[in-house]
Structure 1
Amino acid sequence: MRPAQNDYPAFANDYVSLVKGNTVAEIITIHNDELLHFVESIPDTKANYSYAENKWSVKEVIQHLIDTERIFSYRALALARGEKQSLPGFQQNDYATNSFANMRAFSDLKEEYITLRISSNILFRSFNHAVLKNRGLINSYETTCLGMIYMTFGHALHHKNLLLQKYL
């Protein structure tokens, strides 16, 4: 089942609309290899490239994908486990600044993303149908576990498209 409009915040509509598939298993099957192959295929010569001044480098975008997937996966886990407290938001630009991604080896960033993506899949597949409906507050927005999973994939697909359009 796809998430309903009220299963994620309205600002995530663009992300969720990019995700194909009607079950967690389907979206993993459809999108996982696409995302992994895409990240693996980015040439090392583009690692430090930024398309404009004050825009993130490719390394920083990959680090942003890693950070966001970790946060979104934790949120999905917290909702699946019935967390009742509101979970905080995060400031992506602060995370980017403090990641020092440009000082890291690009191969390490790629390896970390791939490992994390695989780990997230295992986590997401572990959730049964009932917990996918669990609902909670994240940064003052009501969200379900299923909504977070779709947002995780949609966010990665969004940045894949941006990298293709503006960086590669």
Structure 2
Amino acid sequence: MKKSAINPMPPFFDRYINIIEDIDIFDAFEKYPLEKVYSEIDKITALEDKIYAPGKWTIKDIFQHVIDNERIMSYRALRFSRNDKTPLAGYDEEPFAANTNAINRTLPELMQEMVDVRKSTIALYKGMTSEMMLRPGTANNIEISALALGFVILGHPVHHMNIIRERYFPLLS
């Protein structure tokens, strides 16, 4: 199913969904593998424990956040695709970030976990029919379908790589 099948476009989440072009979700998973999104790994590695401003996350924190977010969005997609109409709460990323062990992990470890989680996400979506992908649910008081969540999952790492390029790469100068 293509991104254009998302109706309505969920507010807030559209910032991630719209990063990805209007292609089939499985084509998007192939076009935006995490290894490609984070292909500038040499630069990223040089910055792993740096921050661009007080109180901001390190690259390791960002990677852990991307992992955590994909797990949460996949869980939501699972629930909604199975026609669970229970409204799901939002989540606050700050306590998540403050309570990880990212500082004691290596970037290769985090990258491998990210790739492993993505494999699980793709397997989840392969088990969905078009009807299942279009089923809406409510998360954080916003109606969103499993399909839309798939495009959130795809766009969210790209969004963070754009931030890394914009705010962290200048630290290399």
> What TM-score, normalized by structure 2, do the two folds share?
0.88
Of 50-59 and 113-122, more deviation after overlay is shown by 113-122
2:63 alignment counterpart = 62
Number of matched pairs: 165
Partner SS, residue 49 of structure 2: coil
Q: Distance in 1 between matches of 2:69 and 2:158?
A: 13
Determine if the alignment matches structure 1 residue 4 to structure 2 residue 6.
Answer: yes
Q: In the superposition, relative to structure 1, how do residues 99 and 107 fare at CA in structure 2: closer, same or farther (>3 Å)?
A: same
Deviation of the 1:100 alpha carbon = 2.7
Determine if the alignment matches structure 1 residue 14 to structure 2 residue 15.
Answer: yes
1:88 alignment counterpart = 89
Q: Would you say the 8 A contact 2:49–2:60 is kept in 1?
A: yes
- Answer 1 or 2: which has greater helix percent: 1
Partner SS, residue 143 of structure 1: strand
**CA offset digits 1:105-163 (Å, max 9, x no partner):** 22211111111112211212221111011111111111111111111111111111111
Of 40-49 and 91-100, more deviation after overlay is shown by 40-49
Q: In the superposition, relative to structure 1, how do residues 22 and 146 fare at CA in structure 2: closer, same or farther (>3 Å)?
A: same
1:90-105 aligned within 5 A: 90-105=91-106
Q: Would you say the 8 A contact 1:7–1:144 is kept in 2?
A: no
Partner SS, residue 90 of structure 1: coil
* Percent identity of paired positions between Structure 1 and Structure 2: 27
Partner SS, residue 117 of structure 1: helix
> C-alpha root-mean-square deviation of aligned residues, in Å?
1.6
Could you tell me which runs of 5 or more consecutive residues in structure 2 were left unpaired when the two chains were aligned.
none
Q: Would you say the 8 A contact 1:7–1:146 is kept in 2?
A: no
Could you tell me which runs of 5 or more consecutive residues in structure 1 were left unpaired when the two chains were aligned.
none
